[in-house]
């Protein structure tokens, strides 16, 4: 009996020992894995870093590229497109105008009435719809017929108070957020599609004519009287309310900027035929490229797998269409290199399955247990992860969005530098913090990424202050505007009916 007891006790001790050993080994393994993850995170942070010195180099590079793009056609990756807009709205416009805005994710239709004073601007109707994904790789006929049918429904709502009863055609501005080589204020040909659009055989087509054709086929009483880039619409809206507005930037599905340039600086255009001495230039900054951009393996893979590889490198780092996919790629790589996310989720391998609005929801999740993060990860096929892994996901969102916002700030500062409004007195001279020297400068900003993502805005503001310095940054007003691109295009069309000059440059 005694012997049996001794054997049993010894066996129990051996089992206990083995269990303890297994547990210790597991813990060591877990710690080792976590250390690997911490290493991966550190690598990630380093490769996404945008120190101030690097941002300043980017500011210089943008100003230089702007200049090169103004000197000759094809002189820079920045196309610096002419817009034929030399006359921005100022509040005195009158009449009823329409705008149809084709964005990267949404299209909008609006009707505005202008009574000759800023305060009398009335947005009488506005509709906002998602663009059906089936349109993205359809045909020109399908796309424009869809837009014309949406316009038809919009004007049918007007009923008896319809403008057509006044025996004039409805005047419509077509706000178009893809690169176009304008040939006049009312015409221009598509250079290329971006932001996931891939409608074949449209490059070189006159976009305004395409819409007018579809509208005419339906017998609608609409004249497509202006073709306006979305940034130019936003600038028009900004200028309407505040004449100090000299540039506009869109941070939506994609990203782009425009600004007011002196015509004598647009060297590639021999005969700009403006009365004001200035013209709005559409930078198409999404295509900006510099060796100073912090390009990571994630950016390279995203670009290689995109419909427009080797193109729109800047947009792919800051556009709302792409931030979610960068975050997804990072989570996927981490889940492949460690098992902290559990078995590799096939959903997570699907391009664009993680949208940027989910990134902001996770980033700004203020619940102690990060419930929002848990819910979104669950949708991505990652059902149960501990809190520290959820915190890691928030950190990834932070790293990606902070880089985007700081690059965006460098872009804006590049424009200010080109215009001599960044506080530097000039080549080779000292920086001036003399407030007398600095004019108030307003930059209109529009787009779903900017308006819905607080952390993006905060990081961008912080970086602007870092780059420009507090004194100069105080003179630079970033003005957010909702639906500015659409409303502004209608205002621009209205103002094109009266000739005035821009005296603000
Ligand atoms: P469009 O690009 O069609 O003109 P918007 O300017 O409204 O449309 O931008 C839409 C884009 O904004 C979305 O594709 C998305 O990338 C981004 N976005 C929208 N909502 C959010 C959000 N809550 N957080 C972060 N990004 C958002
Ligand atoms: Mg837009």
Using the mean position of ligand 1's atoms as its centre, give its distance from the Cα of residue 256 in Å. Answer: 14
- Ligand 2 center to 451 CA (angstroms): 11
CA of 164 to the centre of ligand 2 (A): 29
Q: Which residues, other chains included, contact 346 with Cβ-Cβ below 8 Å and sequence gap of 6+?
A: 381
322 CB less than 6 Å from ligand 1?
A: no
Please give the structure tokens belonging to residue 35.
């250390």
Question: Is the shortest distance between the CB of 456 and ligand 1 below 6 Å?
Answer: no
Nearest CA to ligand 1 atom 14: 253
Most informative mutation of 250, 252, 324, 355 for ligand 1 (most atoms within 8 A of CB) = 252
The helix (run of H) or strand (run of E) holding residue 446 is: strand 441-446
Q: Is the CB of 320 under 6 A from ligand 1?
A: yes
The token duo for 356 is 């940027």
Q: Which residue has the tokens 């004019």?
A: 439
Please give the Cα distance from 146 to 375 (Å, whole number): 36
Distance CA 205, CA 343 (A): 49
Q: Is 449 in the pocket of ligand 1 (CB under 6 A)?
A: yes
Show the tokens assigned to 97: 């105008």
What does each C-alpha distance from 430 to 40, 427, 463 come to in angstroms?
A: 42, 9, 21
What is the predicted pLDDT for the residue at 6? Answer: 62
- For the chain, give the longest Cα–Cα distance: 114
**Strand-strand pairing, 122-130 and 106-115:** antiparallel
Do 438 and 229 form a contact (C-beta atoms < 8 A)?
Answer: no
Let me know: does 239 contact 88? Beta carbons within 8 Å: yes
HEC secondary structure over 86-123? CCCCCCCCEEEEEEEEECCCEEEEEEEEEECCHHHCEE
Q: What is the pLDDT of residue 200?
A: 84
CB 48 within 8 A of CB 327: no
Using the atom order of ligand 1, give the atom closest to the CA of residue 456.
25
Determine if ligand 1 sits within 6 Å of the CB of residue 453.
Answer: yes
Q: Locate 267 and state its tokens.
A: 């060297």
Integer Cα distance of 380 and 355 in angstroms: 11
Rounded to whole angstroms, the Cα distance separating 445 from 408 reads 11
Ligand 1 pocket member 104 (CB < 6 A): yes
User: Is the Cβ atom of 253 under 6 angstroms away from ligand 1?
Assistant: yes
Q: What is the DSSP letter of 131?
A: P
Task: State the closest ligand 1 atom to the C-alpha of 446, by its place in the atom list counted from 1.
Answer: 6
Query: How far, in Å, from the CA of 429 to the mean position of ligand 1?
Result: 41
Q: Which helix (H) or strand (E) holds 360?
A: helix 356-363
Closest to 250 measured CA to CA, from 175, 139, 355, 304:
175
Query: What percent of the residues of the chain are helix, what percent strand, and what percent coil, each to the nearest 5?
Result: 50, 15, 35
Residue 502: the pLDDT is 38
356 Cβ below 6 A of ligand 1: yes
Q: What is the enclosing helix (H) or strand (E) of 261? A: strand 255-262
User: Residue whose CA is closest, atom 17 of ligand 1?
Assistant: 449
Contact 298, 334 (CB under 8 A): no
Cβ neighbours, 10 Å, residue 148: 21
| Mutation test residue for ligand 1: of 103, 129, 357, the one with most atoms within 8 Å of CB | 357
**According to the model, what pLDDT value does residue 179 have?**
97
Report the alpha-carbon distance of residue 129 to residue 19 in Å, rounded: 60
| E strand residue ranges, 31-164 | 81-82, 94-102, 106-115, 122-130
Q: Which residues contact 218 (CB under 8 A, 6 or more apart)?
A: 148, 149, 152
Residue located nearest, by CA, to atom 25 of ligand 1:
357
What is the DSSP pairing of strand 278-282 with strand 81-82? antiparallel
Tell me the CA distances in angstroms from 117 to 92, 95, 172, 276, one per residue in order: 5, 11, 21, 22
Helices 320-337 and 356-363, packing angle to 10 deg:
70
- For the CA of 254, the nearest atom of ligand 1: 2
Which residue's CA is the nearest one to ligand 1's atom 13? 253
CB-neighbour burial class of residue 373 (10 A; exposed 0-12, middle 13-18, buried 19+): buried
d(Cα 307, Cα 305) in Å, to the nearest integer?
Answer: 7
> Does 486 sit in the ligand 1 pocket, CB within 6 Å?
no
Q: Nearest ligand, CA of residue 360?
A: 1
Question: Which residue lies with its CA nearest to atom 16 of ligand 1?
Answer: 320
Strand, helix or coil for residue 284: coil
What is the C-alpha separation between 446 and 30, in angstroms, rounded?
Answer: 46
Find the 99 Cα to ligand 2 centroid distance in Å: 13
Nearest ligand atom owner, CA of 485: 2
Q: CB of 175 closer than 6 A to ligand 1?
A: no
How close is the Cα of 248 to the center of ligand 2, in Å? 12
Q: Does any ligand 1 atom lie closer than 6 A to the CB of residue 381? A: no
Vertex 189 angle, CA 183 and 193, to 5°: 145
Q: Give me 408's structure tokens.
A: 């965006």
What residues have their beta carbon closer than 5 A to ion ligand 2? Answer: 103, 230, 252
Element holding 222 (H helix, E strand): strand 222-229
Alpha-carbon span 39 to 363, nearest angstrom: 21
377 lines ligand 1 (CB under 6 A): no
Pairing mode, strands 187-190 and 180-184: antiparallel
CB-based contacts of 503, cutoff 8 Å, min separation 6 = 276
* Residue 255 CB–ligand 1 contact under 6 Å: no
Q: In testing the pocket of ligand 1, which one of 316, 360, 447, 448 has its CB within 8 Å of the most ligand atoms?
A: 448
Distance CA 366, CA 370 (A): 7
The helix-helix angle for 140-156 and 207-217 (nearest 10°) equals 60
The tens place of each residue's pLDDT in the chain, 505 residues long, gives 566 666 666 666 666 656 666 666 666 767 777 888 899 999 999 999 999 999 999 999 999 999 999 999 999 999 999 999 998 999 999 999 999 999 999 999 999 999 999 989 999 999 999 999 999 999 999 999 999 999 999 999 987 555 544 567 899 999 999 999 999 999 999 999 999 999 988 999 999 999 999 999 999 999 999 999 999 999 999 999 999 999 999 999 999 999 999 999 999 987 777 778 999 999 999 999 999 999 999 999 999 999 999 999 999 999 999 999 999 999 999 999 988 999 999 999 999 999 999 999 999 999 999 999 999 999 999 998 999 999 999 999 999 999 999 999 999 999 999 999 998 865 444 444 454 467 899 999 999 999 999 999 999 999 999 999 999 999 999 999 999 999 999 999 999 986 443 333 3
The three-point CA angle 354-357-362 to 5° equals: 80
């Amino acid at each position: 009996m005694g012997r049996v007891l001794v054997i049993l006790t010894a066996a129990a001790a051996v089992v206990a020992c083995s269990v303890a050993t297994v547990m210790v080994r597991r813990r060591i393994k877990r710690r080792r894995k976590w250390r690997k993850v911490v290493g991966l995170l550190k690598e990630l942070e380093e490769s996404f870093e945008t120190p101030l010195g690097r941002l300043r180099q980017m500011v210089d590079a943008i100003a230089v590229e702007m200049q090169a793009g103004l000197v000759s056609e094809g002189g820079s990756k920045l196309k610096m497109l002419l817009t034929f807009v030399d006359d921005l709205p100022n509040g005195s416009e009158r009449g009823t105008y329409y705008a149809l805005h084709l964005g990267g994710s949404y299209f909008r239709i609006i009707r505005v009435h202008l009574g000759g004073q800023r305060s009398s601007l009335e947005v009488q109707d506005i509709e906002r719809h998602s663009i059906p994904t089936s349109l993205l790789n359809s045909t020109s006929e399908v796309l424009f017929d869809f837009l014309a049918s949406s316009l038809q429904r919009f004007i049918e709502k007007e009923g008896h108070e319809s403008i057509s009863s006044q025996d004039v055609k409805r005047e419509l501005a077509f706000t178009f957020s893809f690169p176009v080589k304008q040939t006049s204020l009312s015409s221009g040909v598509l250079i290329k599609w971006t932001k996931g659009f891939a409608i074949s055989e449209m490059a070189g087509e006159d976009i305004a004519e395409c819409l007018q054709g579809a509208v005419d086929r339906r017998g609608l009483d609409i004249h497509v009287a202006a073709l306006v880039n979305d940034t130019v619409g936003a600038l028009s809206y900004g200028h309407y309310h505040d004449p100090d507005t000299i540039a506009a930037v869109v941070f939506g599905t994609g990203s782009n900027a425009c600004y007011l340039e002196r015509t004598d600086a647009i060297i590639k255009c021999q005969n700009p035929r403006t009365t004001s001495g200035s013209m709005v230039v559409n930078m198409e900054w999404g295509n900006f490229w510099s060796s100073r951009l912090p390009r990571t393996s994630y950016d390279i893979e995203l670009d290689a797998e995109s419909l427009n590889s080797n193109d729109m490198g800047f947009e792919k780092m800051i556009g709302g269409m792409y931030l979610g996919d960068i975050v997804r790629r990072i989570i996927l790589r981490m889940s492949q290199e460690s098992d902290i996310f559990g078995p590799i989720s096939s959903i997570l391998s699907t391009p664009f399955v993680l949208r940027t609005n989910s990134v902001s929801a996770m980033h700004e999740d203020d619940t102690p247990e990060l419930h929002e993060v848990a819910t979104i990860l669950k949708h991505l096929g990652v059902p149960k992860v501990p809190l520290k892994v959820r915190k890691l996901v928030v950190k990834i969102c932070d790293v990606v969005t902070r880089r985007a916002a700081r690059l965006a700030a460098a872009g804006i500062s590049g424009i200010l530098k080109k215009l001599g409004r960044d506080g530097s007195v000039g080549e080779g001279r000292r920086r001036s913090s003399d407030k007398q020297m600095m004019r108030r400068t307003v930059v209109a900003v529009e787009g779903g990424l900017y308006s819905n993502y607080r952390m993006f805005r905060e990081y961008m503001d912080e970086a602007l202050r870092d780059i420009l310095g507090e004194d100069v940054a105080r003179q630079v007003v970033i003005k957010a505007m909702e639906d500015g691109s659409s409303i502004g295009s209608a205002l621009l069309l209205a103002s094109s009916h009266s000739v005035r000059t821009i005296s603000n440059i």
